[in-house]
Amino acid sequence: MSRPLDDFEESIASRFWRGGYRIAPKAEWIKFYLLKYGKGYPYDMWKKWREFASMIGVRAGSYIAFVRYMFILKRLGLIKEVEEEPTHRGFPRKYYVLVEEMIDSEIWRRPVATLYPSSEKERVLF
């Protein structure tokens, strides 16, 4: 089922479709999602990313891969955990926000390659 694109998603999609994309679309999507909504938790964000990724023709990856990606962003200091909410399933829901000082950081362009430089040779887009 298709949903209307958010305004920030339209911008990402149009640049992606034109080609010459110079930033990982998942990183940019997470950044602008958190800018728009203030905070988010990985499962909800992954469901919305998965829909968007299918619209632009990119593999969304699994939920586990998305959580690992969020961990990379957290480890690089781009996002931080701000709240935990108990759930009825055992694991608390963790909410994340952007780190103000890092919003304009160049690290957003290629977070995986920044943390793991050898991965730059192996992956074009992550």
Q: Would you list the domain boundaries of the chain? A: 7-120
Rounded-to-integer distance, Cα 80 and Cα 75, Å: 9
pLDDT in tens, 50-74: 999 888 888 889 999 999 999 999 9
Look up residue 97 and give its two tokens.
């926000």
CATH number, domain 7-120: 1.10.10.10
Q: Which residue is associated with the tokens 């905070």?
A: 39
Mean pLDDT on 93-118: 93
Q: How confident is the model at residue 119 (pLDDT cuts 50, 70, 90)?
A: low
* pTM, entire model: 0.83
Query: What are the angstrom distances between the C-alpha of 71 and each of 6, 37, 108?
Result: 24, 19, 14
Q: Indicate if the alpha-carbon torsion angle 48, 83, 31, 28 is positive or negative.
A: negative
